[in-house]
Amino acid sequence: MAHSGTGHRERLRARLLAGGDEALADYELLEFLLFASIRQGDTKPLAKALIAHFGSLAAVLSAEPAALQQVRGMGASSVAALKAVALAARRMARITATEKPLLGSWSALLDYLTIDMAHLPHERVRVLYLDTQNRLVLDHLVSEGSIDEAAIHPREVIRRAFDVGAAALILVHNHPSGRAEPSKADIAITGHIAEAGRLLGITVHDHVIVGREGCVSLRARGLL
């Protein structure tokens, strides 16, 4: 029997069910996910090709459908199978992060933001609006692009807080380069929004920058 046959799939399934978090290597987990769309044959070469192309399992699951389909062997069904898993992971992380006041579940929030934004190929700017109990009121996508006053105006950010009845907010954006170190523009726009918030009674709790290498809190850095 070929290694790619039923026996191999059953062995992977048994290891997955019997083992812990590290039961399967990243390529083996991806291989297993592809079983759903590729009923027969060896999915290991495709799994390894995907990780080689994108760099990691997380990057594969975060890739856009069009990018996934550029890898030979990835049809619409395989792309859909991977995107469904990625969507489930994001929703689980979001529920964990937002079912309690955000400031009391900070590590869960950072996990969610990392899953959701760390591997994006472009910058995304979001504002998390919170009520007086620091529960999420609105997760607002402000712009797809660089964070500056052309894309995110302080008055508009604070005005939206009043529109949704928020008492506080957390700014979030990602660095596609992978490094989450704040730029001068990041620090400047944060200061402008925080000052506008102080004048109108809206608290700016933090500005979180997300990168593949981790997250940076401007408040923790003493920059807010």
Structural domains in the chain, CATH included, are 6-91 (1.10.150.20), 101-217 (3.40.140.10)
| Residue 130 φ/ψ, nearest 5 degrees | -120, 155
To the nearest 10°, report the CA torsion of 153, 157, 160, 162.
Answer: -120
Residue type, 104: G
The conformational region for residue 145 under phi > 0 = left, psi -120 to 50 = alpha, else beta, is left
| Tens digit of each residue's pLDDT, the chain (224 residues) | 344 467 888 888 888 888 767 778 888 888 888 888 888 778 889 999 999 999 888 888 888 889 999 999 999 999 999 989 888 888 888 787 777 778 778 888 888 888 888 888 888 899 999 999 998 889 998 887 766 655 678 888 999 999 999 999 999 999 988 788 998 989 999 999 999 999 999 999 999 999 988 899 999 999 98
- How many CB atoms sit inside 10 A of residue 181's CB? 12
Tokens of 127: 């504002």
56 secondary structure, DSSP code = S
pTM listed for this prediction: 0.71
